[in-house]
Structure 1
Amino acid sequence: MPGSAAGGIQDACSVASEQRHGEINVSIWYNNVPHPKLIEYKKDQNWVRKSGDYLVFPGGGTQFKEGVTSYIQFIEKILPSIEWGKHTRVVLDVGCGVASFGGYLLDKSVLTMSFAPKDEHEAQIQFALERGIPAFLAVIGTQKLTFPDNVFDMIHCARCRVHWDADGGMPLLELNRILRPGGFFIWSATPVYRSDSRDQNVWNAMVALTEAFCWKVVAKETDAAGIGVVIYQKPVSNSCYEGRKADNPPICLQNRSHEISWYSPLGYCLPRIPVPQSGQESNWPISWPERLTNRPPSSQDGSNSISSENFLNDMTQWDMLVSKIYLHDLGIDWLKVRNVMDMNAGFGGFAAALINQPLWVMNVVPIHGPDTLPIIFDRGLIGVYHDWCEAFNTYPRTYDLLHSSFLFGGLAQRCDLVEVAMEMDRILRPGGWVLVQDTIEMLQKIQPILISLHWETTLHNQKFLVCKKGLWRPAN
């Protein structure tokens, strides 16, 4: 069924097959994401065009007048210390559109988590995921984003349509919470470079907020196309907070610093900057790619403490499992895998072992287990918190492969495994794979459920269940 929704995985892979490692799909099948509204609405800004049976992404955008590559180079020119792919590895792109910014940064070894809500433009995140770019549905509204404190090296907003000064600046406070001390916030929007009264009022509000947050302007320039960019840097110590004339916003209470952000309301406070452990110069991870295999700073604090030996053993075990079994013995065609989800990510060992493969991994840390997500980010990987008794914020037919390691035993105590399997079926592409490592008792419980979904299933060595989703769907 060429171009059909049910056959999307075959078509997505045929388009992606010519892509090299680190590159993104510059075109996708139109019938996989048949939403022409964005094409018409943004036709003058070169976001996306329809060309025959394909959607083509030229790398344009509202703020990318000279193309996204030129925009990325301009940022590095005005702030050389950003060091794409070395100092700056993990990025959040707010209101990402079709995620061209994050997609083109892949060539620079930068891993970008792009997000946007489902709005009147329709399916922007679906476009991004179809291209093989990390993205998910989210909004900065009344609740915290599902990320830990102090984890993103950089946050980016290009006309992201968020009112940062709303509710006393609570949306910007949320960015401050998840931005790493010393990290950068890049804002490209009309208040930065236009002088009409409306834009100036927004700019003045932003100045007041960022000064109250102790953010420092480290660059403010206009490119050749007349687009302005301002770059702020978060402080690396609490001295500025303590020296403010007015304690507004107040400093957060210490006992809330390690709460998992799951159904948590936005807070009107500034989290304290973590004090580096003795022997550390700062809480910033070492340069990429060394940070992937070095014991992270977050693994040494009281809440997430793991020994160097345990970290090394975990990394070694995953390297052996992936290289010896996953990539060769289980019959998975890894050439057709781009979007991967690890449903119970631990320290991110599965994703780290796949780092040289042309794919990306969404590391999911279940909210009822150990909070290892800060460690995952410190390693230069991306992920979110989630409760697998609920739906995951993504479009249907999003991921090529789902991986689960000893997840279902704990889930079975709290929710119906049939419903979990149905959610997995929803987010997995037709032709995609599920790889489950678990006890033989649990595998025997799960296998009949997945067979009932018309998946092909194979049990390997009484330890691994490998499933492949077909093109079957229920009759209307």
Structure 2
Amino acid sequence: MKPSSPTAAVGTALHLVKTPNFVKFAAVALLSLSVALLFYHHPSFPSAAFSAFTFASLNSTSIAANTTSIASNSSSPSSAILKVKKLPPPPPSVAQRTGIVDENGAMTEDFDVGEFDPSLMEELRDLKGGAEETEKRNEPEIVKYGKFKPCDESKIDYIPCLDSFERHCPDSTLVCIIPMPNGYQKSLPWPRSRDELWLHNVPDTRLVQDQGSQYSMSVKDDKISFQDGGSDQYLNLVSQMVPEIDFGHQTRIALDIGSGIGSFAASLFKYNVVTLSIGTKDVHKNQIQFALERGLPAMVAGFGARRLPYASQAFDLIRCSGSGIDLTVDNGVLLLEVNRLLRAGRYFVWGGPQVDSNHERSLEDQWKEMEDLAARICWQLVKKEGNVGIWCKPLNNSCYLGREIGAQPPLCSSSEDPDNVWYVNMTACITPLPKDGNGGNVSVWPARLHSPPDRLQSIKMDAMISRKELMKAESRYWNEIIGSYVRAFHWKEQNFRNVLDMRAGFGGFAAALNDLELTSWVMNVVPVNGFNTLPVIYDRGLLGVMHDWCEPFDTYPRSYDLIHAAGLFSDERKRAKCNFSTILLEMDRMLRPGGTVYIRDTLAVIGEIHDVASAMGWVVMVHDTSEGPHASWKFLACEKRMP
């Protein structure tokens, strides 16, 4: 074999040096030697390096640069010094640009922000649940409630705001619990209560002693009994005089003014007619209390200067017995208020004149005055028999517009809202009828309960095109909820008769009670701080009234078996006019011993309601809604137990 030449050997060596493996080996060797020398000369290097890497956040490029620097100086170990570069400061943050996309799809900042309605923001919060967050931010200071004490015995029948003729509320509200009468017993169930009631449930029995025979009342043992008193014969007479009245179909909602103890209303219930009995507190003594105790719809009303708190064209039939009420005085302002309340094309029944206590006017004079005023407001006398007269209100404005110039009473101004009723004075003018006939064109009962009325489109509220859907959705919602209450809480077995809905909306709660065949009547309350849905409630064939819940309600203590409030307290918290204890103490005044309260509201207010209700002595239970335990709403089932 021929030995290789020196040149070839050198070439082979150079070739090996240039191979990748050799380069890697050399690099690793140099790096290892550099690190060893560094640890030998600088023992504190590991901790310094860790600190530098941790807090200065050196990137991989800096590490490589420093390693290269150290390696290049490894030939002089004594001069090897670690040099850590300082990172440059971070660049200043740039605000993200926002704007409006123009017609070319590019972002532009050339736009103006116009004015906005703050109320729209509130509505948006309500839709998105923001109202609850606002409530949390504005949540008032937590108040600790001690147990409320009973009021003085003189307050047993206390109605805070009413005198004989007008509504006047005291400056201070009740801060005590109205006591119940000695010997009070749970009210008899309907329909038994229509014919008898417990004697001691009505503390003032002077009406029985003084005028019991007039009202067909008698006392036997511990009960007061009621006889028919001729009401059935009276209704038969009215039906024969004017068959078009058609009780239970064309006539569904009636008003009885100066009603006595509710005998007229009791008889009309047999015809499926719901009759609201109203009377003053002193002139008619406590007749309204007797009516309520019997399970009949009734309210105390002041016949003074202000409008009654009911919608225009609310009642299909209005009756005035004439006892103590003269509708023709003061330019006929009371009869003109009756005209506002009476539905177009429907009937007014006058029970006949009464002998004037001062003997200033004969019965004949009273009839003449009534007939004259009724003719001037375009009422047609349909029938007169004995001491009963029946008039019909016109269907449209043609008669009003055809009167002579300067005829009295005049038409009311077109700017006057006939449904504005809260603390609004009566005016001696004729309320004109809507040109489109709304209010007078309702369906017959029971179809009208679920037929969206025409006045649904004319009431003042936010929704413009989906009102019918809103009304139907509300009815479905309450039908489902009341159905669950009937199954879970056995509502039918509890015999609720007098029911109050404190925030009624379109009346869906009351409609559900009717659909599920509970033997109840419902007073639907429209709060003054909400949309005025009273016309819709009456057009559906339900009762209703407008009220401010920061003031006492116009009724006797112990009036209702069941009180319902959905969303009321969160609304009142936004208004911030009164505290929860004011409203709850009024609820306790109206609630019968043994009665029940159901409150549905947000978590933001349920806790405080629970505290006040417990301080009043109610038994309170918190329940989840159908949305489950994590929903933003709960409901309280409260019971005012008999002692």
TM-score normalised according to structure 1 size = 0.89
Deviation at 1:7, TM superposition (A): 6.6
> Structure 2: which 5+ residue stretches go unaligned?
1-179, 625-632
C-alpha change, 1:38 and 1:130, in structure 2 (3 Å) is same
Structure number with the higher strand fraction is 1
1:463 corresponds to:
634
Which amino acid is 2:408 matched to? N
RMSD over aligned CA atoms reads 2.0
1:137-216 correspondence runs (5 A): 137-190=300-353, 198-216=362-380
Q: Distance in 1 between matches of 2:459 and 2:289?
A: 39
- Equivalent positions of 1:215-234 (< 5 A) are 215-222=379-386, 228-234=387-393
Question: Greater helix share, 1 or 2?
Answer: 2
Query: What is the deviation of 1:243?
Result: 1.1
Match of residue 337 from structure 1: 496
Q: Distance in 2 between matches of 1:318 and 1:452?
A: 30
Change (3 A) 1:17 1:144: closer
Which residue does 1:403 correspond to in 2? 564
Bigger CA radius of gyration: 2
Work out whether 1:45 is the aligned partner of 2:214: yes
Once residues 589 and 246 of structure 2 are traced to their aligned partners in structure 1, the CA distance between those partners, rounded to angstroms, is 38
Decide which moves more: 258-267 or 339-348. 258-267
What is the SS of the residue equivalent to 2:347? Answer: strand
Report if aligned partners of 2:422, 2:528 keep a CA contact under 8 Å in 1: yes
> How far apart are the structure 2 equivalents of 1:178 and 1:121?
22
Q: Which residue of 1 aligns with 2:228?
A: 59
Q: Which of 183-192 and 153-162 deviates more?
A: 183-192
2:423 is aligned with 1:263: yes
Deviation track 1:30-73 (CA, whole Å, cap 9, x = no partner) reads 1111433212332442431111211111122xxxxxx1111111
What SS is found at the alignment partner of 1:423?
Answer: helix
Corresponding residue for 1:244? 403
The alignment partner of 1:426 has SS state of: helix
Distance 2:598 2:641 in 1: 15
Does the alignment pair 1:319 with 2:476? no
Sequence identity of aligned pairs in percent? 37
Q: Report 1:444-455 matches (<5 A).
A: 444-455=607-618
- Counterpart CA distance in 1 for 2:432 and 2:530 is 25
The amino acid that maps onto 1:349 is G
Checking the alignment, whether the CA contact within 8 Å between 2:598 and 2:635 is kept in structure 1 is yes
Distance 2:602 2:411 in 1: 46
**Segment drifting more, 359-368 vs 51-60:** 51-60
Q: Deviations over 1:4-46 (max 9, x none)?
A: 7367452x1xx32664xxxx52000111114332123324424
Q: In structure 1, which of residues 122, 127, 138 is the aligned counterpart of residue 290 of structure 2?
A: 127
What do the CA deviations read for 1:82-119 (whole angstroms, capped 9, x no partner)?
00010000000000110110111111110111011112
* Residue 200 of structure 2 corresponds to residue 27 of structure 1: no
| Contact residue 260 and residue 367 of structure 1 kept, 8 A | no
1:368 aligns to 2:541 (yes or no): no
- Alignment correspondent of 1:442: 605
Structure 1 runs of 4+ aligned residues shifted over 3 Å read 6-9, 330-334
The answer as to whether partners of 1:9 and 1:429 remain within 8 angstroms in 2 is: no
Amino acid at match of 1:211: A
- Residue number among 297, 306, 309 corresponding to 2:469 in the alignment: 309
Q: Is the 8 A contact 1:191 1:203 kept in 2?
A: no
One-letter identity of the residue aligned with 2:584: A
Partner of 2:119: none
Q: Could you tell me how far 1:120 is from its partner in structure 2?
A: 5.2
- Tell me which residue corresponds to 1:392: 553
Assess, with a 3 A threshold, how the Cα gap between structure 1 residues 6 and 45 changes in structure 2: closer, same or farther: closer
Give the aligned partner of residue 16 of structure 1: 189
Give the structure-2-normalised TM-score: 0.66
CA change 1:6–1:40 in 2 (3 A) is closer
Q: Distance in 2 between matches of 1:243 and 1:155?
A: 26
CA gap of 1:122–1:302, structure 2 versus 1, over 3 A, is closer
The superposition leaves residues 350-375 of structure 1 with CA deviations (integer Å, 9 ceiling, x where unpaired) of: 00000121111000000110000110
Aligned residues: 444
